Structure 1
C-alpha cells in the first residue's frame, strides 16, 4: 500500500487516482473527510487527521512547518515504510533566505536522518502554474498582476499534473535507491512578465502589465490582506530570493526533467476561472 499525504490537493489527488488506476492499494491522508470521499469511492482507504499530529501520522509559520516536519518524520519511522517520495522545491538546497522554501530544505535534511536502507526521492519542482490562481482577484481589481519577483528573471514553472505524474511514475517503477534528488522543471522557464502577458492574452488582454513591487511593499500588502507577520515576511523573502538567483534550478535541462504541459494550456484554464469570477 502507498500512503499519499495531502491527498485532496491538486497534486496529491492526481497521484492517488493514477496509483488506483494502476491497481495499487492507496491510503489517502487529508484533513477533510468530505473532500476525501471521492477517493474512497474510487477504492482508496482514507485517513482523516492533522499532519502536525504525530499520533495521526502556532501562529509562527516556520514553527508550524517544523512541527509538521517532525511529526511526519516520526510517522515514517514508526510506520516501517521502506520508500518515500517527497515533493520538494527548486531552491531546497539553500539553507537560508528563501522564504517558505526553507521548510523544504529543513524537511529534506530530516529525511536524510532515516535509516540508510530506506529509499528517499526528493522531487524538487519548479514554481507551480496553479499558484497563479492567486492572481485572479488582483487582475480583476487592478488590471495588472503584481509581485516582488523581478519581471524578466526566468523561472522554472510546471503544472501540478506533471509533478504528480513524475511522483506516480517513481512510486510505480521504484527506479531509485538510497537518497536521490530529481528536478521537475516544466516545459520551459518563464518570467513573471511573460506569464502575465500570456494570462492576459487568454482573457483578451495581451497588454496586461506586470507591476513589480519591492519585498517590503509586498510584505505590507500581505499584512494588510490579513496574513500573519511571519507568512508575509516569508513570501517577501521568496520574491527577493528568486530575483537574486538564490532560488534556481541546479540541473541542466534534459528530457528527464522537462515536462510536456505548456504554460499556454494552463492560461486557458486560468481564463475560464477568471471569467467565472462572481
Structure 2
C-alpha cells in the first residue's frame, strides 16, 4: 500500500511509519521542517516537505495514497485554539476529496464526542464532524486517552513545589495511553479493511490521579509525593506563571474541569476497549530517567 502520514517524526507518527515500512508499505511522511528530510529517508520513507496550511501541497502529497493518517499538531501560538484545530481539519478534508483518497485513519481524542467544554479536544470534535461529511471515504477516528508523555511536563512542579496536582482531586479516574500503543492501533487500522465512519478508543491503563502520583513518586525516590487539588483559578494562574499563553492555559483548565466532572470519559466507559500493553509502571521507568536528567540541568 501507498500510505501518507502527517505529523512528521512525532511521538506517534515515527513509530507508525516504522511499523508500516517494516511490513513492506510505501510510506510518505509530511513535515514542515526540511531539516527532517534525512531522518525521514533513513527510516525508508519519502519526505514531503510543506505546510499543512497549504491545501494544494496536501492534495499533491495525498494523491495516489491508498490510505492517509491525519493528525493536528499542537500550536501554542494560536489565538483561537479550537478554531486552529478546526481549520487544519478543513484543510485535510479538502485535500482528501481533491486527491480522491478513500481511506483515512484520523487521530482524535477521548472526549471528542462532546461539542465543547473540553478545552482543545473540542477542536478535534469539529474535525471528526467535518470528516464525517465526506462521502465515499472510509474514516476511522482514533480516540486515545491522556498521553503518558504529557506527565513529563509536571517534572518542574515536582522539583520546585514537591507536589503533583491539577484542578481535580486524587480520586478522579484517569485513562492513560502510550504513544507506541496508539501507533500500533493506527498501523492495525490502516492495514485492515473498514467502511463508513467509525471510532476506536485506545487506552493502556486506567488509574486514579492519586495512584498515578504514588507510582511516579516511588519511581523517582519520593514515595510520599502528594497530589494536590487546585481551584480552577489556581490551575490557570499556575500555567500562566509557567509561561503558557493565556489561550492555552484557558483550554487546559477547561479540560481539567471536564475531567473533574467525569463527562470527558463518559463515552469511553460506554465503549471501553481492551487495554493495550504499556502500563503505568512501565512508563514510570522512563519518567524516572527524565526526572533524573532534569536534576542535572
Matches for 1:197-212 after TM superposition, within 5 Å: 197-212=214-229
Aligned to 2:61: none
CA distance in 1, matches of 2:182, 2:96: 22
Query: Per the alignment, do residues 100 and 198 of structure 1 end up closer, same or farther by CA in structure 2, a change over 3 Å counting?
Result: same
Aligned to 2:67: none
Shift of 1:251: 4.7
Query: Per the alignment, do residues 73 and 255 of structure 1 end up closer, same or farther by CA in structure 2, a change over 3 Å counting?
Result: closer
TM-score (structure 1 length as normaliser): 0.93
**C-alpha root-mean-square deviation of aligned residues, in Å?**
1.7
Matches for 1:184-203 after TM superposition, within 5 Å: 184-186=202-204, 188-203=205-220
Of the three residues 84, 95, 113, the one matched with 2:133 is: 113
Of the three residues 119, 133, 136, the one matched with 1:99 is: 119
Matches for 1:1-278 after TM superposition, within 5 Å: 1-57=2-58, 58-115=78-135, 117-174=136-193, 176-186=194-204, 188-251=205-268, 257-277=274-294, 278=297
| Conservation of the 8 A alpha-carbon contact between 1:182 and 1:257 | no
DSSP-derived class of the 1:247 partner? helix
| Conservation of the 8 A alpha-carbon contact between 2:32 and 2:50 | yes
Shift of 1:86: 0.7
DSSP-derived class of the 2:56 partner? coil
| Conservation of the 8 A alpha-carbon contact between 1:5 and 1:29 | yes
Any gaps of 5 or more consecutive residues in structure 2?
Answer: 59-77
| Conservation of the 8 A alpha-carbon contact between 1:27 and 1:45 | yes
Deviations 1:93-132 (A, max 9, x none): 01110111101100000001111x2110011111111111
CA distance in 2, matches of 1:220, 1:49: 36
TM-score (structure 2 length as normaliser): 0.88
How many corresponding residue pairs?
A: 275
CA distance in 2, matches of 1:35, 1:207: 42
Deviations 1:123-169 (A, max 9, x none): 11111111111111221111111222322111111111001100001
Query: Per the alignment, do residues 190 and 27 of structure 1 end up closer, same or farther by CA in structure 2, a change over 3 Å counting?
Result: same
Any gaps of 5 or more consecutive residues in structure 1?
Answer: none
CA distance in 1, matches of 2:183, 2:107: 9
